[in-house]
Structure 1
Amino acid sequence: MDYRVLLYYCYSPIENPEAFREEHHRLCLRLKLLGRIIVASEGLNGTVSGLAADCEEYMQIVKADPRFAALEFKVDEAPAHTFQKLHVRVKPEIVHSSLRHVRPHERTGQHLSPQEFKALKDRDDVVVVDVRSDYEYNVGRFKNAVTLDMENFRDFPERVERLKEFKDKKILTYCTGGVKCEKASAYLLEQGFENVYQLHGGIIKYGIEEGGEDFEGKCYVFDNRVAVDVNSVNPTIISYCHHCQAPSDRLVNCANPHCNAHLALCENCGQELEGACSTTCQAHPDKRAYDGTGTYFKLSNNYRPEQGLLSYRAPTL
């Protein structure tokens, strides 16, 4: 395949995020990368797609910066861009949470390689904890993982009470690429949990290095693919069509923009409901046209760095 998808993060202080954003945005434009990048005083977090050679140059340039020398890219192949636009934005945090005081670059849970995670995850003295949102783990999660019924990672501190029964166990946290685990595991340590670990590189790296064994369903991703296969060893489907309840891992957004729920909808029900999650949403006057994918994109102005937060949209070929 000609294109690559890069998933990455790094908690490392950036003294002037606004200036860094301008410089970094120009770099992405030069390399014709598309995707979402968040810059904050605490670090960098992004997912981008581009041609293989352009992605390779991007990785070399980013890692040449001493602040990001320890950054690890998760690299996947794709037949085309997995994004339609480029956003490089300054935000208070690189992952939206209610844990702005937490500094993972100073203290966080012990990193486990995919191989180490695999060796530990089924032991009796271990509990595996999914720190992602409900729409993510509903389509795929590790076998026997504890989920926390969160609509958003902001809810994590409120859910920690549910983990107190496991304080005498080793807690292994995981998420898509690792960025949420950095703050989640750091917060658990702050709350008195002693044996806290995290899957380094997240589900994506586990799939690449260990074949995704015992990850059930698909992994939700934040690009046009919506959800991807990670398990090539013992794959299974754990999600069900929201409408007919048939097994389905086909994830869509409801065609009603006022609902926009992330949910599984099989192809037959998708066609019948025109991409909506219910007949009520199907009848909504603002319902978007359904093209069979269940993915919808916002139009945006052409981007130029001096325009601040407006996005760059790839030219139509």
Structure 2
Amino acid sequence: MKSILNIAAYLFVSLDELPELRAKMLDECNSRELKGTILLTGEGINLFLAGKEAELRGFLDWVRADPRFKPLEAKESWSKDQPFKKMLIKIKNEIIRMNHPAIQPKEGRANFISPKKLQEWLDRGTDDLGRPVVMVDTRNAFEVDYGTFENALHFNIEKFTEFPQAINAHKEELMDKTLVSFCTGGIRCEKSGLYMREIGMQHTYQLEGGILKYFEEVGSAHYKGSCFVFDEREALEPNLDSIPLENSIRKKLIAG
């Protein structure tokens, strides 16, 4: 029986007094025996947590009682065992580093598309206006190796800071296409979507909630493989189960 609830969530919002906020959150997490990682920055929060359902939902209620975090939405999955070894809360400069300070998702989001609507577009290969749809994978190369959308464009990057240069190199050939950027949970696409608009690529969207939300609402349609996650489960299948041991890329690499 899978009794451990796992959540992934983020929110771009202006935050201050981060050391005090960190101390309060850490006390709450420890008192509820939660484990995982929370990143706190001046531009928002990013978290991956796991624990017993009542305790984790109680923590989310506590967080959302702060008006700044009221819109926080979480992607959910379940596991038999606790996938994290400890509870960490880190203070960082950016939720996800891009090295483009002008890109500020807290000031306004990129256009987004729901998983169900994206499935409609992919079923017929065009958007509602008849433009070809191209999926743009913003993740790192090792993540793409686990799985991605069929015929998705990816750039074999090693870190997200390489994305702007990579997409610029393909700007002209993609200008007349409808682009849908995607990542694990949506956070990288908040910045990549805004960046693509900034450089003049107007027909761009981000997949709302990322691959994990797509798995939750749609499943495996138009997706091949699994999705790497940043915990001990390694990767999730489209049914949100962890990948079988025999399919583990990480364990195969270790074994040589």
Give 3-state SS (helix, strand or coil) of 1:184's partner: helix
Q: Letter of the 1:81 partner, please give it.
A: Q
Larger Rg: 1
Given the two structures, how large is their TM-score scaled by the length of structure 2? Answer: 0.90
- Length-normalised TM-score, structure 1: 0.73
**2:91 — aligned with what?**
90
| CA deviation string 1:92-123 (max 9, x = no partner) | 01113223331112233211111111112322
Alignment of 1:1-317 (within 5 A): 1-121=2-122, 122-123=125-126, 124-164=131-171, 165-230=173-238, 249-252=247-250, 265=252, 275-277=254-256
Distance 2:182 2:38 in 1: 21
Can you list the C-alpha shifts for 1:186-237, whole angstroms capped at 9, x where unaligned?
11111111111011111011101111312100100000001110159xxxxx
Separation of aligned partners in 1, 2:6 and 2:101: 28
Partner SS for 2:105 = coil
One-letter identity of the residue aligned with 2:157: M
1:141 CA displacement = 0.1
- How many residues are matched? 243
Counterpart residue identity of residue 228, structure 1:
L
Q: Distance in 1 between matches of 2:239 and 2:152?
A: 16
Higher RCO, Cα 8 Å, sep 6+: 2
Paired residue type of 1:67: R
C-alpha distance in 1 between matches for 2:176 and 2:4: 45
Amino acid at match of 2:99: S
Identity %: 31
Q: Bigger shift: 174-183 or 114-123?
A: 114-123
**Aligned-pair CA distance for 1:41:** 0.3
Query: Does the CA contact (< 8 Å) of 2:226 and 2:237 recur in 1?
Result: yes
2:222, 2:81 → 1: CA distance? 29
More helix by share: 2
CA contact (8 A) 1:219 1:228 kept: yes
Output the CA distance in 1 between the equivalents of 2:66 and 2:223. 34
Aligned to 1:242: none
| Contact persistence 2:178–2:204 (CA under 8 A) | yes
1:34-66, Cα deviation, whole Å (9 max, x unpaired) = 111100000000101101111110121222221
Counterpart AA for 2:43: E
Whole-Å Cα distance in 1 between the matches of residues 86 and 212 of structure 2?
23
- In 1, are the aligned partners of 2:216 and 2:239 still within 8 Å (CA)? no
Specify every segment of 5 or more residues in structure 2 that has no aligned partner in the other structure, as ranges.
241-245
Q: Tell me which moved more, 139-148 or 161-170.
A: 161-170
Distance in 2, matches of 1:189 and 1:107, equals 12
Q: Which moved more, 1:5-14 or 1:155-164?
A: 155-164
3-state DSSP class of the match of 1:185?
helix
Q: Which moved more, 1:41-50 or 1:62-71?
A: 62-71
- Secondary structure at the counterpart of residue 37 of structure 2: strand
Q: Matched residues in 2 for 1:212 and 1:8: separation?
A: 22
Supply the distance in 1 between the matched residues of 2:167 and 2:33 (Cα, whole angstroms): 42
- C-alpha separation in 2, matches of 1:114 and 1:42: 26
Cα deviation for residue 170 of structure 1 reads 1.2
Give deviations 1:53-83, integer Å, cap 9, x for gaps. Answer: 1111012122222112221100111112110
Could you list the runs of 4 or more consecutive aligned residues of structure 1 that deviate by over 4 angstroms after TM superposition?
Answer: none
